[in-house]
Structure 1
């Protein structure tokens, strides 16, 4: 089954970009207008994030999101055959503080959100970065699809660590100079073990792991900002937030990340993953201990 899926998607990856985006436009019509995939969730999320906007304005953002969402996954498939030169042309990266941190012999954690296109960012960094790149990921329920995504995520040398067993899988690299990519806007499995923050207009839980590990091992923390320049072209900027996180009060790094992420989303709201239920946990129930 895996090789059938790989062959199918590899064939799609060979399409020129103009045809790939033509396919994306067709899929958009099916996903948004015919099947309405998670449309209710997306519009509910947008209503929470932008109560000041009219319904028509939020629907406009939703439509742009679905286009970006579908582009994101077809662009990920394109990685199966995309050349290094093409990716470098289409995905620009400002490494910011990384050369200096590397010269100091330090490792680094990069905290990012579900902004498009994080799959291109992984491969682009692996092609150009000095550090060993460790990527923490959530396994996909379909074994064949999970194997496919592992294939192109590891294409440029990224070492994948399962979020379910990260502590154990991290052991061989703990004494090397690495950079670890952490998607820090994941919903926590247990909201009782999370940091709660006002995110847009409603309280939401954020995982403690990214901050906890950085403070425990005093590993510099960098935030990543993604910007879509135009269809098929992106820019990523890495910014140093804290070089010595062990010196910061508990919760401070997460607070900074939440504010940083919200600001980035407001700049390009269609470029964030609105289809996942960011506010599915109830703050009032958590606070009352129910």
Structure 2
């Protein structure tokens, strides 16, 4: 069954991209206007993030988001047959010298990403643009066919996928070498009681602790990776240093800096973030107050 699915998707990936984008437009309209796939979630998230915008403005962002959302899948499938030249043309790092700076110092590196389009294209292309081995933490999927397919997609250009559920064991073979570890740090945590809590777009929000904890323990430099779209099918990557020596920072500071950079990136291109995931599915409770790390606001006093 895997080879049947792989073969069909590979043949689909051979279709010219301009034609695939026409298909993407049709699917985006179908998801938004017909089946209304997670439309309530998307619009509710946009209302939380942009209360100052009118309902019509938020709907325009939502429509553009759905096109970016379907483009993301189309471009990901295209990776199955894309060559190195195609990928290098489609995604360019603005300041690759930052990677050289840390590599020449002999240091490992953590790259904190968000669900900014197109992170899958970035996963495929970044190994071609750096001397570092590129390790990427990922969440395994239950369907074995798609698990195998995504592992192939994410590794065919040199990325090394590591299951986030077995991270400590998976990273052991690389512990004495230089690498970039890519972490999508805006995942919704598994539990709100084991998270950092801080303000995000005006709403108390839990953030996973793992990325900060690992960087501080190892004093591993951390960069923020901002994906942004130049035009359809063409992306830029801006690398921003979050901390060169996170080991000396107070607890929570790394996450606060990441939050600031992520929110700023989303505000710059509001249709380029994954609004369909339930980022605010956990509600604030007073018992979470010990986990509040925001230095600009006090924790809320009520539910």
Measured against the shorter chain, the TM-score band is over 0.9
Per the alignment, residue 234 of structure 2 pairs with 233
User: CA–CA distance in 2 between the matches of 1:286 and 1:145?
Assistant: 39
String of CA shifts for 1:125-166, please: whole Å, max 9, x gaps: 111210111000011222111211110100111111101000
Per the alignment, residue 274 of structure 1 pairs with 275
8 Å contact kept, 1:96–1:237: no
Q: 1:217 to 1:288 in 2, by over 3 A?
A: closer
- SS of aligned partner of 1:238: strand
TM-score by structure 2 length? 0.93
- SS of aligned partner of 2:281: coil
- SS of aligned partner of 1:205: strand
Per the alignment, residue 8 of structure 2 pairs with 8
Per the alignment, residue 202 of structure 1 pairs with 203
Per the alignment, residue 117 of structure 1 pairs with 118
Give runs of aligned pairs for residues 15-30 of structure 1, distance below 5 A.
15-30=15-30
8 Å contact kept, 2:221–2:246: yes
User: CA–CA distance in 2 between the matches of 1:200 and 1:28?
Assistant: 26
String of CA shifts for 1:188-243, please: whole Å, max 9, x gaps: 10111111111002111000000000000110001111110010000001122211
8 Å contact kept, 2:193–2:288: no
> What is the Cα-based RMSD across aligned positions, in Å?
1.3
Q: How many residue pairs were aligned?
A: 290
Per the alignment, residue 166 of structure 1 pairs with 167
- SS of aligned partner of 1:204: strand
Q: How far did 1:93 drift?
A: 1.0
Query: Which portions of structure 1, spanning 4 or more consecutive aligned residues, are displaced by more than 3 angstroms?
Result: 285-290
Larger displacement relative to structure 2 (91-100 or 269-278)? 91-100
User: CA–CA distance in 2 between the matches of 1:193 and 1:101?
Assistant: 31
Runs of 5+ in structure 1 lacking a partner? none
Q: 1:176 to 1:58 in 2, by over 3 A?
A: same
User: CA–CA distance in 1 between the matches of 2:74 and 2:286?
Assistant: 39
- SS of aligned partner of 2:112: strand
- SS of aligned partner of 1:29: helix
User: CA–CA distance in 1 between the matches of 2:97 and 2:203?
Assistant: 32
Larger displacement relative to structure 2 (252-261 or 91-100)? 91-100
8 Å contact kept, 2:242–2:258: no
User: CA–CA distance in 2 between the matches of 1:241 and 1:258?
Assistant: 11
Q: How far did 1:33 drift?
A: 1.3
8 Å contact kept, 1:96–1:239: no
String of CA shifts for 1:87-117, please: whole Å, max 9, x gaps: 1111111324110111111010000100000
Runs of 5+ in structure 2 lacking a partner? 291-302
Q: How far did 1:11 drift?
A: 1.0
User: CA–CA distance in 1 between the matches of 2:271 and 2:247?
Assistant: 35
8 Å contact kept, 1:96–1:240: no
Give runs of aligned pairs for residues 186-265 of structure 1, distance below 5 A.
186-265=187-266
TM-score by structure 1 length? 0.97
Q: How far did 1:24 drift?
A: 0.5
Larger displacement relative to structure 2 (48-57 or 91-100)? 91-100
- SS of aligned partner of 2:214: helix
Greater relative contact order (CA < 8 Å, ≥ 6 in sequence): 1
Per the alignment, residue 131 of structure 2 pairs with 130
User: CA–CA distance in 2 between the matches of 1:12 and 1:174?
Assistant: 39
Q: How far did 1:287 drift?
A: 3.4
Q: How far did 1:284 drift?
A: 2.6
User: CA–CA distance in 1 between the matches of 2:29 and 2:242?
Assistant: 41
- SS of aligned partner of 1:97: helix
- SS of aligned partner of 1:234: strand
User: CA–CA distance in 2 between the matches of 1:29 and 1:135?
Assistant: 32
